[in-house]
A and B are shown apart, each in its own frame.
Chain A
């Protein structure tokens, strides 16, 4: 009897609710919940654009300093003190750029999350952060090692490769698309290894241009929903 009833129910369902079958609806729900609970989806495309602009501005300032140092060296010869000052200035500049980029990144992500009334700090963002920090911290220590050994030419390639690996790793915990950005960063870093004198240009390409392009694509794809902008 029960079997008969369920078959009748089933036939009824499949005849009259063909467009949105309850099983299909349930499966879609399961998929959506799995996605939402395991990935941080509030990452904003504008974060990428902001970070990219910071990087380009930083690279522009650095280029000015390096060019100034080189023309001085041609005129007055090599001075260890001048070289040391330039190095310290460049490291400080890199830190300032990093801080501004992170602030903008957090701001846009926080804004997107609060607009969609989603939590910023939940277990998905914690997982994302831990998994981005592991390769990134390794890269940071590696770069400090390079500086310690006075090996400046490979700083930009090392930054790019480790950052790319961090993004590839993080793509499991947020929007999948950042995997491709990560692969491009790795490629830029590896090519840079063979053109080590153009580190700043590769750095500007990887952290500036790629971020801006990627950010705009992401913004177009996920954030530009009608009514999202007030």
Chain B
């Protein structure tokens, strides 16, 4: 028997990681502060989730400067886009089974 939730990606179980992926899928290049503001989370919390996504190769990090201040922007990677779309499809699939 096929496991109905095997296509769900464990990485996206966390609401914050799911939120980050949702934002990056429709916006190219979002900086740390905008992400923080949109998700309403603390610095440390967001940073650890971003590290996790980066280690999984789902997001790309661009370190830049505006004047002297660091400006780090994040964007979704090809692998991340594929993985997140599969996750969404898996969610949709589960809803169809229930109906």
Contacts and interface: CB of A to CB of B under 8 A. Distances in A.
Q: Is the interface of A mostly helix, strand, loop or mixed?
A: helix
25 contacts: A3-B3, A3-B6, A6-B3, A6-B5, A18-B98, A21-B98, A23-B92, A23-B94, A24-B95, A26-B91, A27-B88, A30-B22, A33-B19, A33-B22, A33-B38, A34-B22, A37-B22, A37-B23, A37-B26, A37-B27, A37-B38, A38-B26, A122-B37, A123-B30, A123-B34
B26 A34 contact: yes
Q: Is the interface of B mostly helix, strand, loop or mixed?
A: helix
Given A23-B94, A29-B15, A33-B38, 5 more contacts: A23-B91, A29-B18, A30-B18, A33-B22, A37-B30
Nearest to B19: A33
A6 B6 CA distance: 9
Interface of B: 1, 3-6, 15, 18-19, 22-23, 25-27, 30, 34, 37-39, 88, 91-92, 94-95, 97-98
Interface residues of A, number: 21
B95 A38 contact: no
Contact of B91 (A10, A27, A36, A37): A27
Nearest to B91: A23
Interface in A102-139: 119, 122-123
